[in-house]
Structure 1
Amino acid sequence: MFSTHLQEYALDKYQGRKKYYSCLWEEIEEALKGCTEEEAILMRFLYGTMPVRDAGEYDFQVFLSYVQHALWLRRNMKWCGELTEDIFIHHVLYYRINSEDISDCRKFFYEQLKDRIQGMSLEEAVIEINYWCAENAVYESTDERTASPMTVFRCGKGRCGEESTFAVTAYRSVGIPARQVYTPRWAHCDDNHAWVEIYLHGKWYFIGACEPEEGLNRGWFTVPANRAILIHSRTFSDFMINSSEECIGKENLLTYYNNTPFYAKTRELTVTVKDQKGQPVKDAFAAVEILNMAEYFPAVTLVTDSKGEAHVSVGLGDVRVRAWKGDTFGEKKVSLKVTAKAELSLECSAGKPDWVTDEWEQAGFSAPEECPMHLGRETQEQKERKARRLKEANQIREQRFVACYDEKLASVYTEEAGMFRTAGENAAEIRAFLTKDENPGRRRMLHSLAVKDYKDLKASILEDHLGCEQGSLNEETYEKYLLCPRISKEELTPYRSFIRAYFKENEKERFGKNPEQIWKYIKDTIHYDTEVDYSTICATPIGCLKMKQGNSLAQKILFAAICRSLNIPARLNSVTLAPEYLKEGVFTIPEGFAEGQKAKDIAKEDAASLILKVKDKSKWNYFQTWTIGKLEGVHFDTLNYEGVSFEDNALELVLEPGVYRLITSMRMPNGDQHTSQRVFCLEHGEQKSIEMTLWESEAKDMLVNYSLNDFPVQDNTGKEYMVSELVTENAVILAFLGVGEEPTEHVLNELLASASHWKETAARMVMVLREPGELKNATLRRVLESLSGVELFFDEQRSCERAAAKMHVDADKLPVLILIQKELVGIYACAGYNVGSVELMLKLLEQ
């Protein structure tokens, strides 16, 4: 039986949701009558703490499956029965890990693993389960929508957030407490990362998800992690907050815990917030922001106490601290290597922009230095066993998905062959939809979807969206903004039939004649309470209508969904995410929508024109070297101009009047950044021109000069070459890869993304693999097909270790990239996880 504290907590939280669950309350209460006492306690706990949108998206039986399986584990798995109540509740029972789609999957994972770990110790089981994870999933760079653990199993691939969700599910399914740990942004490179912690004998240990090691507290990310500003974990309630970990506050439903001190050297930052009179401000917000992807990302947001203070332990790098209350704010750069205090004054406001300088301001941002916290080294025996087992895992995974691919079907549907490969076991759903009849809309709909959709789409859901009329619409408008069931990053649902049945005929007629009424209906009917939801996920159109609850993005998606259901083309603007519908051939924002508008939809007399001028357009990549944000209230919201390019070294943006901030950033090889920012105002009808500035270092400041000893490599026929034979007049990138491992996958994906720059530079790469089996890797094959100047070799004599030692980088942290000149002079090198390394080397080659 569970404690009185848990029973009372669960009941209190559950009863507090009654007003939100009004449409489901009787149904839930009736279902609870069929539960045992223990099941009812845990079901009330889940319904009382889950994001409200989940109650509207998933059936009672889905949640009950998690409860029943967790209770079975509690009774039958010795290690689970010994857990404290809070660890069991948060890290075995709880169904949600991050923002993944939820399905009844725990028993499935248990069945896959139970025999495999039979008779093992807890430590042995942890390691063995991660080998199973590696047999079934490998890293792949994908979009930000988090696929479910079952989707990852069926397609065999996922980004780090999906791999870690997959692995946590595997551990929880056998009663081993596990959680996802996350750095929202690295300080030394432009990316983030998620991995797994498992709880053994009263302590947390880390592992790389689907990246097994022969011991705990090991992983390729240990060095990046000891350079982190912030690493955190989360629970979906504040039940029995663990006092042994630093609780860094709540955000909506979530309670966050600071895990940084376990991975990196830290100090406690004290932020003091004062008003313009110098008095402390209570209940002000203070965000610690990391410069990453040319924007300031709020890694953690704190609330000040009666002294106007807030405290948090963070890594020893440079951050920007931003504080606000009401409509005033203040901000400043803080170097944690120098000081542990930051005092801010709330002197700025959007309504009185006298603080806007309209001048470029430069600042350097230092990343924390390496300070290893977990120094355990593999023995040679462990290295060899891991290499052998990983090779076996890759073969098992690849063989399973080769068997999924239907060559005969792909030969008939040649344009869809790539979809079948991506889908893995989900290819059966694509086949069922595609081959049902000769309706040409089937192919058109499939090609309108995001790549990830092929992994988890359902034929029955796509069927729901086929009944559209093209009329006089052009192909692009019809396929992208009417036929396509995907609007943003939401889960795909059969919303068209639901919406058509949900509204009365007179309502649908009114909406069809005047789509402005759709937005009015949404604003009048759909509400959002941040305290009972999780901002990272949004309700689907069906869930939004059922629960009358949905965040800002969910409401915009609902607008587009209702429009499309009524045969009105609609979309979310790619830059501002504003809802738009087609009116007289032009995508138009509903009049009642209060947020930013797309440039061309702003009235000509109100628009402001901003012309950005550059000297070398090749240096300007959005979310890498520059961004622009608009001040909304007390925050700068970064606009999404990803993919935009400068023509003739200039770019015109047509924007709403307001206060804007340009940020430019250049990342140094050591992870530090040089940044420039400019805050300026745009008035109604103003035309403004700004010369962009990028604070760059000279190549000589980035380069070293180390002589390497010559060494042999072998081509795929076994013929031997000395590296000195392969390096001629021009510098060459020597790349020792760990194909199939996440850091190398990042580099391969960067090579694909930099294909045009690679061609312009006429770059050459001597790519050195560990063994021929790595040639089967799909990402590597795409690189070899897409890029010229890449020569393949193998390293049979462990030359990587000697070359890396000469360049003072770690040979164990593949990939090892070395920029090498004739006479074998190494001028730059990096090892392991260094996002942006390809572009940096191309720039060094140019210089």
Structure 2
Amino acid sequence: MFTAHLQEYALNKYQGRKKYYTALWEEIEEALKGCTEEEAVLMRFLYGTMPVRDAGEYDFSVFLSYVRHSLWLRRNMEWCRELPEDIFVHHVLYYRINSEDISDCRKFFYEQLKGRIQGRSLEEAVLEINYWCAENAVYEATDERTASPVTMFRCGKGRCGEESTFTVTAYRSVGIPARQVYTPRWAHCDDNHAWVEVYLHGKWYFLGACEPEEVLNKGWFTVPANRAILIHSRTFSDFMPSPSEECIGKEDLLTYYNNTSYYAKTRELAVTVKDPVGQPAEGAFVALEILNMAEYFPAVTLITDSRGEVHVSAGLGDVRVRAWKGDAFGEKKVSLKVTGKAELLLECSREKTDWVTDKWERTEVSAPEECPLHLEKETREQKERKEKRLKEAGQIREQRFAAYYDEELARAYTAEAGMLRVSGENIGEILAFLTRDENPDRKPMLHSLAVKDYKDLKADILEDHLCCEQGSLARELYEKYLLCPRIHREELTPYRSFIKKYFTEEEKERFVQNPEQIWSYIKAAIRYDTVVDYKTICATPIGCLKMKQGSPLAQNILFAAICRSLNIPARLNQVTLAPEYLNQGTFTVPEGFTNGQKVKSTAKEDGASLLLKAAEGSKWNYFQTWTIGRLEGAHFDTLNYEGVPFENNALELVLEPGIYRLVTSLRMPDGGQQASQRVFYLKPGEQKSIEMILWENKAEDILVNYPLKDFKLQDNTGKEYNISELRTEEPGILAFLGVGAEPTEHVLNELLASAVHWNGITARMIMVLREPGEQKNGTLHRVLENLTGIELYYDKERSCERAAAAMHVDADKLPVLILLQKELTGIYACSGYNVGSVELMLKLLEQQQIKRRKTNE
């Protein structure tokens, strides 16, 4: 069935992994003897291309289940039988899509779907499967750990990366090639996004994951995608007999493909890199960085050829091009709308610091302009059918998950009611752990976990961690840094019993007497080779010890896991992710750990402090209006101060000496940014003070004055109101929502994040839903609980279309937000995906309130 080329490729890749699979090699070889020839080829392909950590985390039988199911599909599904070999192995066979937990699930998904696609054409099957996905999962903002497709099915909610992983799994399970497509960062707003492409009749088509349409190449993200700088897909191997897409190189284990030109207007950018004496710098790294979330994010990294050049197609916006070789680097802003060439000189380094000016430098960053390439439209009949089916999908999903929640049980466990509500089918695991006996640590352990853990935790794994001793520890320290089984975003495993058996009594005693020895052991025993791993995931403590392989983050987690297993409180520093253990009441980084800064409690005598001063009334939100990064080698690594507030217009940071970069950014309504940066050196023992600056846009530059014609809305009872009857003296927000869809979820989450600001200025919103059932949405429910001044109405006469048309925004791109004056005049509006729109609306609303009061005075 397979070509000699694939067989040879698989064998060579597999044999090249022998040095990494030392602990498992004989076991794998023995298991291969029980495989057919075809199965053995694909198993070697997987073991030869997978992240090495996967081999240590999952059993041979799990991978074999993927191989056998894909071979069955190849034989029995006509559309799978005709696929090119590379498309089959990458986009049907392959078990990993993102950074999700892996389980034997393809046959399960096939059984769920086979009845839905029977007798349908390939195109019809693609559309129908996405409706099934919508019946079982919907968007919800969550943390960055990627839940598995099975978890998504069992809990029904997840972020875009999880929705797309779930949907790709559904397609691959029936033999339809599918892949996850990413824009690593948008250019016009602060976020990223993932969706799905499916392969039909020799061509890729896109669709929104769990967001069905009646036609392909259509989704709410179509317009944002045509404003992207970079959109890519990836495979876990470079097996590509006849590449048909622009390969933008490899990063560690992955091979990346540039899909940007399919979605947006692009230009080829040619970058030439020269060394300090002006000669071509071969082998230099070149990154295209997008300013997003107030940091310069490397969207793609390339390596220069013998002429010191790299070439890449990218969207027509502003990027920062950064090149480096060793510790020498250079950078500049490039506007792709204007030019397709850039030359960089590697003239900066830690030693040569004339580039460290310690002055604020301002720059304007433009996003690509809107220029749709895909103009697929639904007929009115298709639109009505979609609305009907989406409503039915929502009802099916809500009814299924409502059946798992037990109100009587929740009343018995009031403090745990929230975790029971979000757990979906996993409620049984929570109850099994919670009710096993009267151990007083059961509830605290559950409460120490992340919300996502309630959706996929296993009772027997938690049992493994009920072996701690509080002793004289304060309760908070005990629960957070000893009892809790979660250290970062790794998969939860029964690592305590494994670690206790893994080390000898002598080793454990030595570790307890001096935890510094734990770090010494890890540095000596655990290696890391980036070319055989995927940095987005990291080995668990068990996998790290089994394979003797783990990323720097995995090693930090392992340190904390060993400590906790030996009853030593430990954690990862929330700012730097450095490992720390409790040493005489202070969390201490082990000697020999050199990756970055320490928080105030662990600063040494030669530490330095930075006092950031803010103007009265200014609002500073980390990863929105500012970040700070420390120069590590030739890179600025962004520190994590998310959630750390300025108090009394100031924030003090205790940092290690070094070179730092402050970045501030203000997003403009057109998607562009007004940014500033300041690079400075922090000396040992120095106490430095910096005044924060942020460009201010003038309201008059973005406000309009469009009259709206009167239209009708309905309340919960069906009573009709003219919008003119609902207006008040003060300006307010008119919001047409698409509850349950990702853009509206973002707006609702922004409202929650802005609750204090919102309630403080007594803002008012006329919130318009499409139908009463949307009130059941959990995010909307939290908004209504936490924010004042919100009134609910329904739009049964397509008033949104008329209002959006009057404001010159697109009614099909919900949510539509309109800042409305008393006179039924719209002064600002936006539609669709615009992260930061709530804060902008609040700012404009506040300005209008002040202006109105001054006028009345």
CA distance in 1, matches of 2:808, 2:487: 48
CA distance in 2, matches of 1:709, 1:65: 61
CA distance in 2, matches of 1:135, 1:125: 15
1:246 partner letter: E
TM-score by length of 2: 0.98
Name 2:297's counterpart in structure 1: 297
CA distance in 2, matches of 1:277, 1:7: 47
2:440 partner letter: P
CA distance in 1, matches of 2:727, 2:428: 49
Name 2:317's counterpart in structure 1: 317
CA positional deviation for 1:204: 0.1
Residues 1:564 and 2:569 are matched in the alignment = no
2:135 partner letter: E
CA contact (8 A) 2:361 2:677 kept: yes
- Listed as ranges, the matches of 1:224-263 within 5 Å are 224-240=224-240, 242-263=242-263
Name 2:208's counterpart in structure 1: 208
The DSSP-based 3-state class of the residue aligned with 2:783 is helix
CA distance in 2, matches of 1:235, 1:108: 24
CA contact (8 A) 2:53 2:543 kept: yes
2:518 partner letter: I
Deviations 1:514-557 (A, max 9, x none): 00000000000000000100010000000000000000000000
Name 2:542's counterpart in structure 1: 542
- Listed as ranges, the matches of 1:411-430 within 5 Å are 411-430=411-430
Name 1:725's counterpart in structure 2: 725
Name 2:442's counterpart in structure 1: 442
CA contact (8 A) 1:750 1:836 kept: yes
The DSSP-based 3-state class of the residue aligned with 1:114 is helix
CA positional deviation for 1:618: 4.5
CA distance in 2, matches of 1:599, 1:535: 25
The DSSP-based 3-state class of the residue aligned with 1:619 is coil
The DSSP-based 3-state class of the residue aligned with 2:103 is coil
Deviations 1:475-529 (A, max 9, x none): 1100000000000000000000000000000000000000000000000000000
Name 2:666's counterpart in structure 1: 666
Name 2:626's counterpart in structure 1: 626
Name 2:850's counterpart in structure 1: none
2:597 partner letter: Q
CA distance in 1, matches of 2:599, 2:794: 52
CA positional deviation for 1:725: 2.1
1:553 partner letter: L
Deviations 1:724-776 (A, max 9, x none): 22221211110001111111111111111111111112111000111111111
CA contact (8 A) 2:596 2:630 kept: no
Quote the RMSD (CA, aligned, Å).
0.8
CA distance in 1, matches of 2:336, 2:762: 42
CA distance in 1, matches of 2:182, 2:267: 19
CA positional deviation for 1:604: 4.8
2:746 partner letter: H
- Unaligned residue ranges in structure 1 (runs of 5+): none
Name 2:801's counterpart in structure 1: 801
Name 2:696's counterpart in structure 1: 696
CA distance in 2, matches of 1:617, 1:256: 45
The DSSP-based 3-state class of the residue aligned with 1:161 is helix
CA contact (8 A) 1:589 1:601 kept: no
CA contact (8 A) 1:321 1:331 kept: yes
Name 1:457's counterpart in structure 2: 457
CA distance in 2, matches of 1:763, 1:387: 31
CA distance in 2, matches of 1:345, 1:352: 13
- Listed as ranges, the matches of 1:700-711 within 5 Å are 700-711=700-711
Q: Decide whether aligned partners of structure 1 residues 240 and 519 sit closer, same or farther in structure 2, where only a CA change above 3 A counts.
A: same
Name 1:812's counterpart in structure 2: 812
The DSSP-based 3-state class of the residue aligned with 1:537 is coil
Name 1:334's counterpart in structure 2: 334
CA contact (8 A) 2:289 2:298 kept: yes
- Listed as ranges, the matches of 1:715-754 within 5 Å are 715-754=715-754
Name 2:4's counterpart in structure 1: 4
1:238 partner letter: D
CA positional deviation for 1:138: 0.1
Deviations 1:792-813 (A, max 9, x none): 0011111110110011000011
Name 2:498's counterpart in structure 1: 498
The DSSP-based 3-state class of the residue aligned with 1:141 is coil
1:513 partner letter: Q
CA positional deviation for 1:824: 1.0
CA distance in 2, matches of 1:636, 1:368: 25
Deviations 1:640-674 (A, max 9, x none): 00011111111111111110000000000110100
Name 1:107's counterpart in structure 2: 107
Q: Percent identity?
A: 81
Residues 1:366 and 2:374 are matched in the alignment = no
The DSSP-based 3-state class of the residue aligned with 2:116 is coil
CA positional deviation for 1:352: 2.5
1:112 partner letter: Q
CA distance in 2, matches of 1:136, 1:505: 49
Residues 1:29 and 2:29 are matched in the alignment = yes
CA contact (8 A) 1:602 1:656 kept: no
Residues 1:125 and 2:125 are matched in the alignment = yes
2:438 partner letter: E
CA contact (8 A) 2:49 2:236 kept: yes
2:741 partner letter: E
Name 2:653's counterpart in structure 1: 653
The DSSP-based 3-state class of the residue aligned with 1:115 is helix
Name 1:486's counterpart in structure 2: 486
TM-score by length of 1: 0.99
Greater shift, 204-213 or 742-751, is seen at 742-751
CA positional deviation for 1:597: 3.3
CA contact (8 A) 1:617 1:646 kept: no
CA positional deviation for 1:602: 4.9
Name 1:578's counterpart in structure 2: 578
1:483 partner letter: L
List structure 1 runs of 4+ shifted beyond 4 angstroms: 601-604
CA contact (8 A) 2:588 2:602 kept: no
CA contact (8 A) 1:710 1:724 kept: yes
Aligned residues: 847
1:729 partner letter: E
Deviations 1:37-93 (A, max 9, x none): 000000000000000000000000000000000000000001000001000000000
Residues 1:70 and 2:70 are matched in the alignment = yes
CA contact (8 A) 2:586 2:602 kept: no
Name 2:606's counterpart in structure 1: 606
Name 2:593's counterpart in structure 1: 593
CA distance in 2, matches of 1:820, 1:407: 41
CA distance in 2, matches of 1:540, 1:330: 37
CA positional deviation for 1:241: 5.5
The DSSP-based 3-state class of the residue aligned with 1:729 is coil
- Unaligned residue ranges in structure 2 (runs of 5+): 848-857
CA positional deviation for 1:223: 0.2
Deviations 1:208-246 (A, max 9, x none): 000000010010000000000000000000001652210
CA distance in 2, matches of 1:561, 1:568: 9
CA positional deviation for 1:616: 3.4
The DSSP-based 3-state class of the residue aligned with 2:594 is coil
CA distance in 2, matches of 1:389, 1:690: 56
